[in-house]
Amino acid sequence: MGDADGGGQPILHLHPRPFFIYIHTNDTHEPFAASEPFGSKWGSSYRNRYEGEVTYVDHYFGEILKSLDKLRLKGRTLVVATSDHGSEFQEHGFLEKKVNLYEELVQVPLILRLPGVLPARKKVRGLCETMDIAPTILDVCGLPVHEQMDGRSLLGRIRGRRTAKTAAVVAHTLHEKVFFYEHFMIRTERYKYLRCRPFYRDPRQLRSRWGGDVERRFERLASVAARRGRFYEELYDLKLDPAETTNLRTRKPALAGKLRRQLSATVRALTKK
């Protein structure tokens, strides 16, 4: 941006040098208090106020895209929009952001735009992970992808080339305060295996320190998960049960064992680097 002209409008100076901008917003986190007209646009319920925050962020993200157009940078600027996690609205009993690893929390948007380089409005099917984003950005920009990076570029899939599909993805969340447990997930196109390990042998010990919500969480976990030593295990068929309501762990022990071993091998491989 440069000086203002006689009419008070800024004069735009285009800089040929590459630039990188990272924008991280917390507006879709509690407390939901988006400015008007967004705050009350959809209603006053908890979910409505969240939707107002999303609309607020979406509006100002649109303003950023408009600015790229005004600066005549749209055609040579890669835009990537994504999120680190979703939100749950009591689908599994709680209002949380990243305490569980059910689909409402681990499915996030990933949108890339670069006119003339990436196909417009194309939906790419299949699995990917957030660690694939950085290699994809490097690949799109014509920069080398370091061999030690864990993720893989998605550019080939985006352009429709036949590349090896991602067979499974993993996720992890660690809670060293309040809930005191570690949660792992591995999912294929159809099945998802979840493994939770409380740090306390009897999580009810936390009741006196943190209140009843901690106990309620583990009571729910014990009611839906199959116990294996100190681990709670869940297995869901996402094709027949996308809402993850029926745990198949005891009905399909061989499949659960296969995914458990695959998860452990993936975690070992990632932690060795």
Domain span at 266:
169-272
Angle at Cα 246 formed by Cα 240 and Cα 250, nearest 5°? 110
The pLDDT assigned to 1 comes to: 36
**Residue among 134, 34, 42, 116 nearest 80 (CA):** 134
Which DSSP letter does residue 73 get?
A: -
Q: Is residue 102 situated within a structural domain?
A: no
Q: Is residue 254 situated within a structural domain?
A: yes
Q: Would the CA dihedral through 255, 256, 259, 264 be positive or negative?
A: negative
pTM of the model: 0.85
Which residues, at least 6 apart from 189, have a Cβ–Cβ distance to it below 8 Å?
Answer: 126, 127, 238
The pLDDT assigned to 201 comes to: 64
Per-residue exposure over 53-63, b if at least 16 CB sit within 10 Å of its own CB, e if not: bbebbeeeeee
Distance CA 55, CA 63 (A): 13
Helix, strand, coil percentages, rounded to 5, for the chain = 30, 15, 50
Distance CA 155, CA 137 (A): 9
Query: Tokens representing 125?
Result: 């099917």
Beta-bridge mates of residue 170: 186
Q: Is residue 188 situated within a structural domain?
A: yes
Under-50 pLDDT residues of the chain: 1-12
Domain at 231, CATH number: 3.30.1120.10
Query: What is the number of domains present in the chain?
Result: 1
The pLDDT assigned to 13 comes to: 52
The pLDDT assigned to 15 comes to: 58
Which DSSP letter does residue 200 get?
A: S
Reported as a single tens digit per residue, the pLDDT across 157-168 is: 999 888 878 899
The pLDDT assigned to 174 comes to: 81
Q: Is residue 243 situated within a structural domain?
A: yes
Q: Is residue 257 situated within a structural domain?
A: yes
